[in-house]
Chains A and B, each alone.
Chain A
Amino acid sequence: MFLIASCALAVPGARAATFEELAAQADAARGADHIPQAIDLYRQALQLKPTWPDGWWFLGTLYYDSDRYAEGEQAFAEFVKLRENAAPGWAFLGLCEFETGEYQPALDHIERGLTAGGGVQPEVEQVLRFHEALLLTRLGLFDRARQQYKPLVRRGLKDTALIAGLGLNALQRPMLPKEISEAERGLVIAAGKTAYTWMAGDDAKTATAFRDLLNAYPAAPGVHYFFATYLLQSHPDEAMAELQRELDENPRQAGASASMALLLLQDGLAAAALPYAKTAAEEQPANPLAQYAYALNLSDLHQTIEHLEIAERLDPLNFEYHMALACAYAKSGRHDDSRRERQTSIRLAKESAPDGPK
């Protein structure tokens, strides 16, 4: 069959194949694992009938399997135009964009793949969750990324890519594992292993892992902040000292500055908190925690709302930002907005995991 199709294509002046013939030949080529020919045939068939969803789907998967991600992206984009509720189409579109470096659309489309229609198979979901976590970290949304890593760790998954991803998240490096420099690889892997132990819920080993990490990398940016996030849950009294150590080593660490501001504010030391919060927001305006900490330190209610709205836009699934917005809107007389934010907060709190690293 395949040979016949190839011959037909090869003969100049031969009768042009119909769409049905090309589609059948493309399917046959794909079934025989003749990928370049299958791609060519699908493209010809789609020229005759661009509204053929299966054609775009198979063309996209063939490009994806051939590591031709930019072309795969175009094929899946056509497919989802025709099949808006097809979760796998959005998922593969996102995965192609992940490979071509279009990180924000990749995240949007992977998340749509996880929620559209009937969703995806569990194995695919796992892959998507992992990519979602990588992308969230790459985009600086570390808290949200951590929420995605948790179920993967609890399912017992453990491979180098996951550990590297966890390490980048723990150290708050907005990058992908492939972007880690050789000089930093050891640090990232060590931090990833520590994060893994913590997320797995092994309390005894977690303390040891942190001690080892701090001994091995006492001056590495992000290490003391990572330890401080652990202490915030187990020994909050000691967290502030650890944040200060981080800022001594790495004064531009916005997460550490923001956390310091929040701790000081919690202790009623608003004047001391403000410079930390301001620094955090100025250093990393796209860091939602920094925007949140700055907002809570501002006395002008309108400015508070402005920065809380930025935090909420940057990380819409974090219910802390919605809660703060609910209160701020309530104080400013925006009653409908306040009610909406309260309902959103409650829904997100119910949906999010109550235990483990936050």
Chain B
Amino acid sequence: MARSKRAATIWLAAAAGMAWAAPPAGDVTCATCHPAEARSQPKTAMGIGIELPPDQETLKAHPKLTFEKYGYTYTIERKGGTSMYTVRDGAGELTLPIRYAFGVHMQTYVFDYRGRYYESMVSYYPKIGGLAVTLGDEQRRPHNLVEAMGRETPNSEITACFGCHGTDGVSRGRLTLDSLKPGLTCEHCHAGADAHLQGLSQNKPAPPPAKLGAMAAEDMSNFCGQCHRTWEFIVRLRQFGEMNVRFQPYRLANSKCFLGDDKRISCTACHNPHADLATGSSSYDRACLACHTSKPAQKVCPTSQTNCVTCHMPKVERAEGHAVFSDHQIRIVRPGDPYPN
């Protein structure tokens, strides 16, 4: 008894010491204590977020892209360290440099044209290795070169774009693109990380940022939904129908198995934000089986215990089939059922 008590005391003291111990002298970064996350996260889609010239890998890999739609011809051509976006009709043309390439796989471009921001009318889709109309713009019909170039985006929208795809590009609701850093840095999600680092550098007590993994599903959906759109945001904007398949927190919250107070159905139960998205259909079985086990009172799938997502999270095609999304409204899908919500 006394021995085990002493062991516990030592363990607690050691644990406390580890938590508050100063890191090695010198520059302190997140990588000092979290090397694995610091190594992998910047290479993920969220870590990259937006490509700025000259480091625009997708555009470098595709030095010339062309596309025609509604009587307009689009060309993206690499010249020096910059890709130029040109739209032509029979009478003229408009050429702009691509300063902001949003996304890593699918890519949409943002232009600063005559003091206003425009989202490109066409985007790059890896599935076809080329350009097609930007997701959400399928119904737009341009009437002139400027409209064909892109859609003028209101301030609230463009600040949201830069706020989610980069760091320090928005301050107090206004664009601050001179300080824009591509992708999400640690502080973006882990509020307080910078103060934590600063404290550690000065050998002062520095409480770490809140542990996001401790959040229950509802809170985490709202947290990730700040960029991936919350359930409330989609309802408020009445974005119903297949268009909302892109907004995973909304879809997930509508699932019968979504339990807001349970971590087992939270975003990070399936996805590691510090690593690339797992694409194998069996990768997510572990998360499903965390609840759907053979224990009494748990529903077990009578068909299979593997590749759950292939049946219960059907793929939905958008943008004329160029973009495919996994529907996060987890459910028993029956043939002929309409798309729910």
Mark A residues whose CB is within 8 Å of B. Answer: 237, 319-320, 323-324, 326-327, 329-333, 335, 338-339, 342, 345-346, 349-350, 354
Contact = CB atoms under 8 A, between A and B. Distances in A.
B219 A350 contact: no
Interface residues of B, number: 20
B236 A331 contact: no
Contact of A349 (B236, B254, B260, B261): B236
Given A319-B235, A345-B235, A346-B341, A330 B261 contact: yes
B254 A350 contact: no
Nearest to A353: B238
Contacts of B217: 330
A168 B121 CA distance: 46
Contacts of A330: 217-218, 253, 258-261
B231 interface: yes
Q: Is the interface of A mostly helix, strand, loop or mixed?
A: helix
A233 to B, nearest CB: 11
Contact of A323 (B232, B258, B259, B261): B232
B306 to A, nearest CB: 27
Contact of A331 (B173, B232, B254, B261): B261
B235 A323 contact: yes
A234 B122 CA distance: 29
Given A330-B260, A350-B240, 12 more contacts: A323-B232, A323-B235, A327-B222, A327-B231, A330-B258, A331-B216, A331-B218, A335-B260, A339-B256, A346-B341, A349-B236, A349-B240
Interface of B: 173, 216-219, 222, 231-232, 235-236, 238, 240, 253-254, 256, 258-261, 341
B253 A342 contact: yes
A350 B238 contact: yes
B238 A354 contact: yes
A339 B254 CA distance: 8
Nearest to B217: A330
Contacts of A338: 260
A345 B258 CA distance: 17
B218 A327 contact: yes
Contacts of B260: 327, 329-331, 333, 335, 338
Contacts of A345: 235
A346 B235 contact: yes
Nearest to B239: A349
Contacts of A346: 235, 240, 341
A349 B232 CA distance: 11
Contacts of B254: 342
